[in-house]
């Protein structure tokens, strides 16, 4: 994967412009945090990135998670690779999972502390548990780039560390919308601050402190 670029993109809802025009280039091996007030355009920007780059092996962890509540944790994680496998295989797995897929998924669940929920329907889980299922699915999916929208918003301190560590180890190239600026600074190399659909900060994380980002809020 070479550098990923968006050039002068805009996004509108109806007649209202909510993003851009803005340009971003993302280097391979670069993890970027998108930070900014609620409603300022971070999710919209991640959506535009997904539209432009989805053919390049992108794992997406949307804010609303996109889980199927009636299916088990195992099956929701398994869905991370649906597109790569034949339909007969996916259908057979729905009825009776293959042993090697269970063996591949269990360690991810263990790492995220939800192994005991492997066969529980995701509709019966807490918000934090569901968020970890979505993280496990992103880990299982693999790919060149992770786009994640508030990936640890429902988790407390130690668990958010576990999930951020797992996601950033698996995806050296990533764009993460984050509301926790301390975490954003620790787990990314670059911070892009968004205000009213425009980039107002773009700087290496090591040059910033949390209070430098307060102007965004």
Ligand X SMILES: Nc1ncnc2c1ncn2[C@@H]1O[C@H](COP(=O)(O)OP(=O)(O)OP(=O)(O)O)[C@@H](O)[C@H]1O
**Cβ atoms of residues 162 and 111 within 8 Å:** yes
Q: Candidates 32-40, 82-90, 104-112, 209-217: pick the segment binding ligand X (CB under 6 A).
A: 32-40
Count residues binding ligand X (CB under 6 A): 11
DSSP for 87-111 reads: HHHHHHHHHS--HHHHHHHHHHHHH
CB 17 → ligand X: shortest distance, Å?
9
CB 150 → ligand X: shortest distance, Å?
7
* Cβ-count burial 6-45 (b if 16+ within 10 Å, e if not): beebebeeeeeebbbebebebeeebbbbbbbeeebbbbbb
**116 or 196: whose CB is closer to ligand X?**
196
Q: Given 3-state DSSP classes, what are the helix, strand and coil percentages for the chain, each rounded to the nearest 5? A: 45, 25, 30
**Cβ atoms of residues 9 and 22 within 8 Å:** yes
**Cβ atoms of residues 22 and 8 within 8 Å:** yes
Does 173 contact ligand X by CB under 6 A? no
Q: Candidates 25-33, 40-48, 83-91, 209-217: pick the segment binding ligand X (CB under 6 A).
A: 40-48
Closest CA to 147 of 73, 52, 213: 52
Does 18 contact ligand X by CB under 6 A? yes
List the one residue from 40, 72, 160, 168 that touches ligand X (CB under 6 A): 40
Q: Is 203 helix (H, G, I), strand (E, B) or coil?
A: strand
Neighbours of 135 (CB within 10 A): 28
State residue 87 phi and psi, 5-degree precision.
-60, -40
**42 or 117: whose CB is closer to ligand X?**
42
**109 or 197: whose CB is closer to ligand X?**
197
List the one residue from 5, 21, 27, 39 that touches ligand X (CB under 6 A): 39
**18 or 104: whose CB is closer to ligand X?**
18
Specify the residue for token string 């995701």.
122
List the one residue from 20, 41, 143, 193 that touches ligand X (CB under 6 A): 41
Contacting ligand X within 43-102 (CB under 6 A): 43-44, 63
List the one residue from 13, 15, 64, 96 that touches ligand X (CB under 6 A): 13
**38 or 211: whose CB is closer to ligand X?**
38
Residues forming contacts to ligand X in the complex (CB under 6 A) are 13, 18, 36, 38-44, 63
């Amino acid at each position: 994967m070479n550098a990923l670029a968006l050039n002068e993109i805009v996004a509108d809802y109806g007649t209202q412009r909510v993003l851009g025009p803005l340009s971003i280039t993302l280097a391979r091996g670069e993890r970027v945090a998108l930070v900014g007030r609620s409603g300022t355009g971070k999710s919209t920007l991640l959506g535009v990135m997904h539209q432009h780059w989805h053919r390049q092996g992108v794992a997406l962890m949307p804010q609303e998670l996109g889980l199927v509540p009636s299916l088990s944790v195992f099956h929701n994680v398994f869905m991370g690779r649906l597109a790569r496998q034949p339909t007969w295989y996916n259908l057979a797995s729905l009825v009776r999972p293959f042993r090697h897929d269970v063996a591949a998924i269990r360690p991810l669940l263990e790492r995220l502390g939800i192994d005991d929920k492997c066969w529980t329907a995701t509709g019966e889980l807490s918000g934090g548990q569901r968020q970890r299922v979505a993280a496990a699915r992103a880990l299982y999916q693999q790919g060149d780039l992770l786009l994640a929208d508030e990936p640890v918003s429902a988790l407390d301190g130690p668990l958010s560390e576990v999930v951020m560590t797992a996601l950033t180890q698996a995806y050296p190239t990533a764009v993460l919308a984050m509301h926790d600026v301390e975490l954003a600074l620790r787990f990314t190399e670059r911070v892009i601050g968004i205000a009213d659909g425009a980039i107002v900060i773009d700087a290496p994380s090591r040059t910033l402190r949390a209070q430098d980002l307060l102007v965004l809020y």
